[in-house]
Amino acid sequence: MSGKLYVGLDVGGTAIKAGVCSEDGKLLHTFEGPTENEKGSDRVMANMAQYARTVVEQMSASWDDVEGVGLGVPGFLDIQNGVLLTSPNLVLRNAPLKSYLSEQLGKPVLINNDANVAALGEAWGGAGRGVSDCVMYTLGTGVGGGIIIGGRIVVGFNAMAGELGHIAIVPDLEAIQCGCGKKGCLETVSSATGIIRMAKDAVARGDLAPLAGLDTITAKDVFDAAKAGNETAARIVQRAAHYLGKSMALVSVVVNPQRFIIGGGVAKAGEYLFEQIREAYFKHALEAASKGVEIVPAELGNNAGVVGAAGLILRS
């Protein structure tokens, strides 16, 4: 092995994934180990350091070739100082990740939140490769996001940049309560949760027979029914795509990205969904802003986090 290496850690509640990238954002090797949350804060931090070294050793590379280590972490962070303040999924509190790991590993260390890091991963080494301004939407349980301008993550004053799920987009008369306390957030209609809720409502009013017998309804069930020609399911998908595309039209006159990248479980619905998103976007966007803009699926799947974490060192 030769050339500069960038190590990324994607820290989750049950597992920590480590990855090594080349300078151009190519993922060369990964390693995954248990977080061991139950063994306490010190053990979790020691694991981070260990897995960073392990992933490099496993590919028979020299630690000297490592330029730096980046971490994607779920929770509230003091990014500047590299401290994890609190996290819903981790035992750590006020954990000085940056100072601890840079001392343990002898390399520059940077942290950022997991959604931002995933967006950077796609921008650097995935669907946004070669594009300097992209916006990523992650359609899962909620709607997450990340804004990449000039190849770098936009964090924002309260680290809330890219919280695209909380764009208020549904008109008041149709808006329902979001988990955030506000009404009409994009997340209430374009997340898996939103799609499932609309489907359950339809089943309850006797309007979505193919899904009526299911114990649990998934977003995939709704897409499958829509693709099979069920009109109610098709309207639900159309509604999710409509507000998503409309929110992108707004984002286009704020930061005007070249490319929108859509990831997360819901994006697996494929071209059937993407065509409808594009239609809604180009219908609502100012033509001068949307000309040439692309809406594409994410490419890295679960690896977006490690790739983006590795990219922090280069792109900060």
Residues that bind a second copy (CB under 8 A): 133, 147, 149-150, 152, 154-164, 166-168, 171-172, 180-182, 246, 249-258, 284, 286-293
Considering beta carbons, is residue 51 or 243 the nearer one to a second copy?
243
* Closest separation in Å from C-beta 45 to a second copy: 26
* Closest separation in Å from C-beta 109 to a second copy: 21
Find all residues with CB under 8 Å of 279, minimum gap 6, and list them. 241, 245
Considering beta carbons, is residue 158 or 216 the nearer one to a second copy?
158
Cβ atoms < 10 Å from Cβ of 168: 15
H helix runs in the chain, sequence order: 41-58, 97-105, 114-125, 187-190, 192-204, 219-227, 231-252, 271-284, 287-290, 304-311
* Closest separation in Å from C-beta 279 to a second copy: 16
Considering beta carbons, is residue 91 or 131 the nearer one to a second copy?
131
* Closest separation in Å from C-beta 64 to a second copy: 31
* Closest separation in Å from C-beta 91 to a second copy: 22
Q: What separation in angstroms does the CA of 85 have from each of 28, 70, 73, 79, 261?
A: 31, 17, 11, 10, 29
**What DSSP string describes 134-164?**
EEEEEESSSEEEEEEETTEE---TTS-TT-G
CB 164 within 8 A of CB 247: yes
Considering beta carbons, is residue 104 or 256 the nearer one to a second copy?
256
Considering beta carbons, is residue 153 or 198 the nearer one to a second copy?
153
